[in-house]
């Protein structure tokens, strides 16, 4: 094996990185991943460029991926020569202009507006500004997979190489495939796609299976509502995933790989395409990689958005040009997969972890996490939590620490957390001290999944939540097996009856029995886990179901046909925020006086309920209105 070329590339990349860190012109970092762009980062970029041009100022723009706290986006950092990099949050175009002028013209970092500074570049501290990684959301985290996100330009391979990139595959090629598999076994890495199957075991089966051709597939078909871990990693550090794909392919003896990614991830696809082109240019793809005799190439396959294609056999069918439908197993893909050949499918995060294990060693990695659940896990933390975003914590970290210490808790009283996406379970407050590991979540009736965490407060109706997720999985069912195709449809129909107030107590028994039947009888993981939201909410929030069925009332004021909104005179200040958002003019009244709400005009859009800061909009059961009207007529 000839590593001289790589050594030269690494030295060149290190010099380039050092020049950037010691730049004589100001550096302006902009979080330009999808979350930043959705929050307005491109408008901020235009404002920065215009300010630099109008003021004849010089600065270098550095585009980085998502660093994690999406609730702070757009994030923009400024690093003046010889000073630390300072970060600013929720930047608007107007604020961006002020930041640029203050830093580049006046030399003032605007400490009161800064959210933190980054140390580690030898430039010391800035009085009055705390470290960025001392922010409450970031301090408890352990960044392994996300170590480069927010720091390197994802479209520059030299940035990745300068930060020890591709040294993992070099070490793998030097040690041999058997030792690579042994290293992954010792590290205790489990698949991060949801099932948590030991990674090395799949690799061993595939490597030992007969077949001249073997395939390696990266599953980037992230389809869970509210999940964005895989997308963020690809957008922020695509080479980490690609290096992991190389390592896995070498371990199993594959000569070709596929990245199966959702077409709805255009930025991630663009960055993957550029990264693959750079890999070819640097000799990391093609024939005889680094003179090792290892041949490997990668093809990007864009999926059409079918949620079921996240399942291994359905994904393989899609790559083959067939309809994405699961197949019975065994045989498993590791024995008979793509085109009938042994195939390994690993999740984006699993692959992104591999370079770190190869570079730092199994002993280092196994110190993270807990027994049987080694390493870290990324989560997308969304919903009613104060601090939303992408996080990474050691496996075994409790839900309470994730939601309250990292996420900052909820504004209104906490109610539940949905783990594992639409196929996960809805866990109540009593489970907050549950460790975030595969077995503990499964024991509670939920799953780890790929890492989606949706936090709910008292304004969430769990019956409506279960209906929403069941409608999603029912629509995404491929229809191949009857338990999933028919069973999920009947589950949705029963849930709709409950939310309309048309259900009877026997319907709750039907829900339970049908959910268990679908769980036991479905062919693939989609159907087997689809009833989880129903079964867990029935188990942990049964009084709420009974309220819907017996009292015909939705306490969270969500189910439209069970509630009627009214103004609470004693709480209404007459601020007119509700008047401004009401689309039908149902709310009237002069400013500074309690308003009136006409129930005949109200379309129950909930806009007034959500915008009121004084809890002056209440959602009553329809039956309460009838009782009130009867009392008025009697009087």
Per-residue model confidence as pLDDT tens digits over 130-140: 999 999 999 99
What stretch of H or E contains 280?
helix 266-282
The domain boundary, picked from 457, 473, 496, lies at 457
8 A C-beta contact, residue 28 and residue 77: yes
Same-domain pairing of 421 and 446: yes
Closest-CA residue to 215 (of 197, 231, 202): 202
pLDDT per position as a tens digit, 76-124: 999 999 899 999 999 999 999 999 999 999 999 999 999 999 987 656 7
- Average pLDDT for residues 524-528, to the nearest whole number? 91
CATH number for 539: 1.20.1440.230
250-271 pLDDT, tens digit per residue, is 999 999 999 999 999 999 999 9
For residues 160 and 237, is the Cβ–Cβ distance under 8 A? yes
- Segment 509-533 shows an average pLDDT of 94
Looking at the structure, do residues 179 and 247 belong to the same domain, yes or no?
yes
Predicted pLDDT at 628: 43
Could you tell me whether strands 343-347 and 369-370 are parallel, antiparallel, or unpaired per DSSP bridges?
unpaired
Is there a single domain that holds both residue 60 and residue 92?
yes
Distance of CA 419 to the CA centre of its chain: 11
Q: Domain for residue 493, yes or no?
A: yes
Which tens digits make up the pLDDT trace of 465-504? Answer: 999 999 999 999 999 999 999 999 999 999 999 999 999 9
Whether residue 602 is found in the same domain as residue 533? no
- Predicted local distance difference test score (pLDDT) of residue 123: 65
Q: Work out the average pLDDT over 148-153.
A: 97
Residue 252 lies in a domain: yes
First to last CA, the chain: 96
φ, ψ (nearest 5 deg) of residue 77: -115, 150
70 part of a folded domain: yes
- Residues 291 and 195 both lie in one domain: yes
Domain at 579, CATH number? 3.30.70.20
Residue 253 CA, distance from chain mean position: 31
Asked, for residue 498, whether it belongs to a domain, the answer is yes
Residue 12 has pLDDT above 60, yes or no: yes
Token couple for 40: 């307005």
Q: Do 67 and 9 share a structural domain?
A: yes
**Range 323-340 average pLDDT:** 94
Average pLDDT on 608-618 reads 92
CATH classification at residue 302:
3.40.50.11540
Residue 113, in any domain of the structure: yes
Task: Pick the last residue of a domain from 404, 434, 457.
Answer: 457
Q: What is the mean pLDDT of residues 282-310?
A: 94
Residue 150, pLDDT score: 96
DSSP 40: T
Q: What pLDDT band is residue 590 in, cutting at 50, 70 and 90?
A: very high
Half-sphere exposure of 50 toward its Cβ, with a 13 Å CA cutoff?
11
Residues 256 and 391 in one domain: no
Do the domain assignments include residue 246?
yes
Residues 380 and 512 in one domain: no
Q: Indicate if the pLDDT at residue 626 is higher than 50.
A: no
Look at residues 551, 570, 596 and tell me which one is the last residue of a structural domain: 551
Specify whether the CB–CB gap between 113 and 91 falls below 8 A.
no
Q: Quick one: 497 and 580 in the same domain? A: no
Give the count of beta carbons closer than 10 Å to the beta carbon of residue 586: 21
On average, the pLDDT of the chain sits at: 94
Per-residue pLDDT band for 625 (boundaries 50, 70, 90) equals very low
- Is residue 125 classed exposed, middle or buried when 0-12, 13-18 and 19+ CB atoms within 10 A define those classes? exposed
CA angle 439, 444, 449 (to 5 degrees): 60
Whichever domain contains 72, its CATH number is 3.40.30.10
Mean pLDDT of 348-357: 98
Mean pLDDT, rounded, for 235-264: 97
Looking at the fold, whether 304 and 189 belong to one and the same domain comes out as: yes
Residue 139 lies in a domain: no
Residue 140 lies in a domain: no
- Number of domains composing the chain: 5
> For 418-447, what is the mean pLDDT?
93
Residue 122 has what pLDDT? 59
Q: Is 332 exposed, middle or buried (0-12, 13-18, 19+ CB in 10 A)?
A: middle
Residues 183 and 290 occupy one common structural domain: yes
For residue 574, the enclosing domain spans 560-634
- The percent of residues above 90 in pLDDT, for the chain, comes to 88
- Whether 178 and 110 map to the same domain: the answer is no
Highest mean pLDDT among 62-66, 560-564, 611-615: 62-66
């Amino acid at each position: 094996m000839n590593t001289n070329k790589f050594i030269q590339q690494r030295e060149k990349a290190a010099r380039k990185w050092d020049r950037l860190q010691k730049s004589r012109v100001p550096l302006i970092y902009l979080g330009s991943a999808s979350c930043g762009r959705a929050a307005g980062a491109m408008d901020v970029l235009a404002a920065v460029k215009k300010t630099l041009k109008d003021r004849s100022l010089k600065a270098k723009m550095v585009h980085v991926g998502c660093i994690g706290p999406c609730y702070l986006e757009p994030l923009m950092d400024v690093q003046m020569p010889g000073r630390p990099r300072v970060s600013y949050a929720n930047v608007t175009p107007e604020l961006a202009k002020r930041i640029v002028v203050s830093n580049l013209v006046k030399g003032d970092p605007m400490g009161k507006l800064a959210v933190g500074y980054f140390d580690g570049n030898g430039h010391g501290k800035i009085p009055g500004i705390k470290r960025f990684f001392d922010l409450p959301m970031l301090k408890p985290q352990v960044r392994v997979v996300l170590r480069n996100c927010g720091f390197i330009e994802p479209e520059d391979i030299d940035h990745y190489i300068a930060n020890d990139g591709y040294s993992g595959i070099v070490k793998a090629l030097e040690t041999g495939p058997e030792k690579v598999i042994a290293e992954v076994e010792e590290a205790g890495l489990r698949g991060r796609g949801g099932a948590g199957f030991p990674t090395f075991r799949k690799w061993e089966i595939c490597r030992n299976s007969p077949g001249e051709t073997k395939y390696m597939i990266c599953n980037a078909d992230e389809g869970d509502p509210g999940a964005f871990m895989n997308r963020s990693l690809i957008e922020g550090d695509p080479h980490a995933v690609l290096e992991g794909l190389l390592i896995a392919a070498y371990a199993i003896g594959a000569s070709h790989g596929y990245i199966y990614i959702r077409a709805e991830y255009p930025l991630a696809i663009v960055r993957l395409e550029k990264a693959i082109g750079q890999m070819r240019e640097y000799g990391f793809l093609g024939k005889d990689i680094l003179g090792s005799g290892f041949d490997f190439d990668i093809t990007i396959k864009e999926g059409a958005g079918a949620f079921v294609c996240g399942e291994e056999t359905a994904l393989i069918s899609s790559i083959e040009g067939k309809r994405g439908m699961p197949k019975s197993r065994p045989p498993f893909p590791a024995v008979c997969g793509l085109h009938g050949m042994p195939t390994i499918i690993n999740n984006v995060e699993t692959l992104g972890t591999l370079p770190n294990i190869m570079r730092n060693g199994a002993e280092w990695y196994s110190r993270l996490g807990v027994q049987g659940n080694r390493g870290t896990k990324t989560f997308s933390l969304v919903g009613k939590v104060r601090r939303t975003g992408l996080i990474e914590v050691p496996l075994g970290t409790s839900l309470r620490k994730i939601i309250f210490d990292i996420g900052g808790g909820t504004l209104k009283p906490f109610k539940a957390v949905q783990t594992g996406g639409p196929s996960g379970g809805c866990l109540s407050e009593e489970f907050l001290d549950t460790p975030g590991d595969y077995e503990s979540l499964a024991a509670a009736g939920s799953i780890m999944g790929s890492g989606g965490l949706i936090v709910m407060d008292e304004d969430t109706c769990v019956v409506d939540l279960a209906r929403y997720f069941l409608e999603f999985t029912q629509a995404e069912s491929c229809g191949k097996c009857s338990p999933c195709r028919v069973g999920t449809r009947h589950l949705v129909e029963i849930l709709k009856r409950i939310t309309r107030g048309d259900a009877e107590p026997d319907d709750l028994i039907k829900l339970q029995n049908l959910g268990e039947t679908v769980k036991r009888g479905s062919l693939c993981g989609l159907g087997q886990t689809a009833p989880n939201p129903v079964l867990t909410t029935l188990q942990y929030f049964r009084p709420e179901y009974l309220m819907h069925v017996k009292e015909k009332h939705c306490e969270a004021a969500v189910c439209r046909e069970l509630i009627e909104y009214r103004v609470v005179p004693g709480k209404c200040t007459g601020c007119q925020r509700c008047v401004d958002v009401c689309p039908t003019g149902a709310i009237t009244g002069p400013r500074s006086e309690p308003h009136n709400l006409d129930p005949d005009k109200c379309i129950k859009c909930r806009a007034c309920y959500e915008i009121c800061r004084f809890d002056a909009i209440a959602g009553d059961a329809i039956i309460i209105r009838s009782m009130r009207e009867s009392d008025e007529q009697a009087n």
